[in-house]
Structure 1
Amino acid sequence: MTLRSRAYNELFASARTDGKLTLTNRLVVLAILASVAVAIVGTERAFASENRSAILWAEFGFGVLFLAEYCARLWAVAERPGPESDWAKRSEWARSFFALIDLVVVVITLIPFILAGAPILRLLRLFRLAALLKFGKFSMALKALGSAIVDRRYDLYVTGALALVLLLGGATALYWAEGKVQPEAFGSIPRAMWWSIITLTTVGYGDVSPVTPLGKVLAALVAMGGIGLVAMPTGIIAAAFSDAMQAYREEEARGKDGAMP
């Protein structure tokens, strides 16, 4: 086995049939979590002022590490099975979603050390957490979720249409019932939309609320409709995701049974 093929097996979890993380990928995951932790605590002024030098060195180290990982993946991906040339495989990988995330993270991690006034870009490194989804079982779960959403897309379209009708209906009803009493909050349908959104999503900030008897009755009806509105897409996606994961487990079990002597 060549050095590049060993690097490919270590860096790309998809090269393993069991979906488990290699030692290298485990270290990368730990580095991702550590870099995010540094970015978070670095926003605390008292801590950052006392440990400025340590934070800067840590951020620079993470930037160099992620750059090395990106270059290693770009080099090793040429070992991916397929008839394409090495550079075609590298080009295809470099244009993939997670590769673009990796590249952006490298740039925004290192650019504050090159350009003045760019430290705020370090906070964007928090999006590096999305890269965890490409590893092992996370990737399989993400594919199952995507498949579940695609399979139930028409159900979700219907739910979205009902949500829009209820949203506009609730805003219109409260505009009619409360518009003259509370013109600042319900003086127009767009203004009443804010109340309708926070009510239907069951957030309920309480910054605006109806005061008339009719408005309270209508608000109660909208609030009860919001309970069902939140439950419908949640149940649809949960059921589809469960079905997709069950199908994956059955396929995995059949593969193991077929591999048994």
Structure 2
Amino acid sequence: MPKAIGVLKQYIKSIVEINDNKKSKYFAFFIQGLILLSIVTFSVETIPDLKPQTRMLLRIIEWFSVMVFTLEYLLRIYVADNKPKFIFSFFGIIDLLAILPFYLAFGVDLRSLRALRFLRLFRILKLVRYNNAMNHFTRAIKSAKEEILLFIFITLILIYFSAVGIYYFENEAQPEHFSSIFDSLWWAVITLTTVGYGDVYPITVGGKVFTFFILMIGLGIVAIPTGIISSALTKSVDKNEESR
């Protein structure tokens, strides 16, 4: 009996996990198609004045999708060699978030239902598992996580520094826009990211000069993460080709 269970477990594992056999490929295509169908129905649901029959069809598709995704999630836990590691892994969390809104919606106040529906968008991240390019990107992010965290920390410091600087330059001239450092944070964010909506801008000489230097720093801030990730992607692709 234990041997038969072990054989069954290996058989299920050969299907649900990505392998070269046909059954695994068919399963992967089926899940990918269901994810895309689920995302389409999610979008169609937002169309106003849908017929009751259409809404019922969309609901049936949603129920079917959730049942399949739930079964897939449970099977992946069942065949995982290290179950806690899978459950708390990136893909394990994404698989859970893909089905969680459906079950949380039962007995929930309708006003919060919209927020739960938004969480269904996490299903699209399930496609990452089946895309080699996205797998390279995921590995690149993991390998460069320390550099990315350092970059985020430095960026937050620069945003705060920018907000403080522009507050002291522009507070007296534009108290309606720069009444506090917290109000100045909006200007700091859109300036450092070089978006510059134009709704808030400096009018004093000191503020304009300060803004010039902040914009120069902002150009570097936009370029740095691109360099970090592209370098990590190159290393990930090279390692993959070497392992073949």
TM-score (norm 2): 0.80
Q: CA deviation at 1:59?
A: 1.2
Aligned counterpart in structure 2 of residue 42 of structure 1, from 25, 45, 56? 45
Going from structure 1 to structure 2, the CA distance change for 1:141 and 1:231 (only over 3 Å counts) comes to: closer
**Per the alignment, do residues 212 and 93 of structure 1 end up closer, same or farther by CA in structure 2, a change over 3 Å counting?**
closer
Rounded Cα–Cα distance in structure 2 between residues aligned with 1:186 and 1:176: 9
Counterparts of 1:53 and 1:222 in 2: how far apart (Å)? Answer: 54
Aligned counterpart, 1:25: 28
Note the C-alpha offset of 1:94.
4.0
Amino acid at match of 1:149: K
Percent sequence identity over matched residues? 31
Out of 114, 122, 131, the position equivalent to 2:117 is 122
Question: Alignment partner for residue 10 of structure 2, among 5, 8, 27?
Answer: 5
1:132 aligns with 2:132: no
- Classify 1:218/1:124 alpha carbon distance in 2 versus 1 (closer, same or farther; 3 Å): same
Matched, 1:218 2:223: no
CA distance in 2, matches of 1:134, 1:26: 12
Pick from 109, 112, 121 the counterpart of residue 102 of structure 2: 109
Deviations 1:34-66 (A, max 9, x none): 112211221222347672211111111212222
Cα shift readout 1:161-214 (whole Å, capped 9, x = no counterpart): 653453334323322221111102113222222101110011212221112333
Aligned to 1:171: 163
Q: CA deviation at 1:95?
A: 4.6
SS in 1 for 2:49: helix
Determine the C-alpha separation between the residues in 1 that align with 2:53 and 2:210: 55
Secondary structure of 1:208's aligned partner: coil
Q: Deviations over 1:230-256 (max 9, x none)?
A: 11222122222222322222232xxxx
Aligned equivalents of 2:38, 2:225: Cα separation in 1: 35
8 Å Cα contact 1:144-1:245 kept in structure 2 = no
Indicate whether 1:148 and 2:140 are aligned: no
- The 1:104–1:220 alpha-carbon spacing in structure 2 relative to 1, beyond 3 Å, is closer
Check 1:73–1:214 CA distance in 2 against 1; reply closer, same or farther (3 A cut): closer
- CA 1:234–1:44 in structure 2 vs 1: closer, same or farther (change >3 Å)? same
Report deviation, 1:215.
2.2
**What is the TM-score normalised by the length of structure 1?**
0.75
Shift, 1:9, TM fit = 1.0
SS at match of 1:186: coil
Q: Does 1:98 align with 2:103?
A: no
- Using a 3 Å threshold, how does the CA distance of structure 1 residues 34 and 194 change in structure 2: closer, same or farther? same
**Larger CA deviation: 234-243 vs 32-41:** 234-243
Match runs of 1:152-163 below 5 Å? 152=147, 157=150, 159-160=151-152, 162-163=154-155
Runs of 5+ consecutive residues of structure 1 not aligned to the other structure: 81-88, 253-261
Partners of 2:175 and 2:143 lie apart in 1 by 46
Are 1:61 and 2:67 matched, yes or no? no
Looking at structure 2, the residues matched to 187 and 92 of structure 1 have their Cα atoms a distance apart, in angstroms, of 49
Distance 1:8 1:133 in 2: 19
| CA RMSD after TM alignment | 2.9
Residues 48/139 of structure 1: CA separation in 2 closer, same or farther (3 Å cut)? farther
**Distance in 1 between residues matched to 2:120 and 2:39, nearest whole Å:** 7
Q: Which amino acid aligns with 1:46?
A: D
- The residue type equivalent to 2:117 in the other structure is R
Among 176, 179, 192, the residue aligned to 1:184: 176
> In the alignment, what sits opposite 2:243?
251
Distance 1:212 1:227 in 2: 23
Listed as ranges, the gaps of 5+ residues in structure 2 are: none
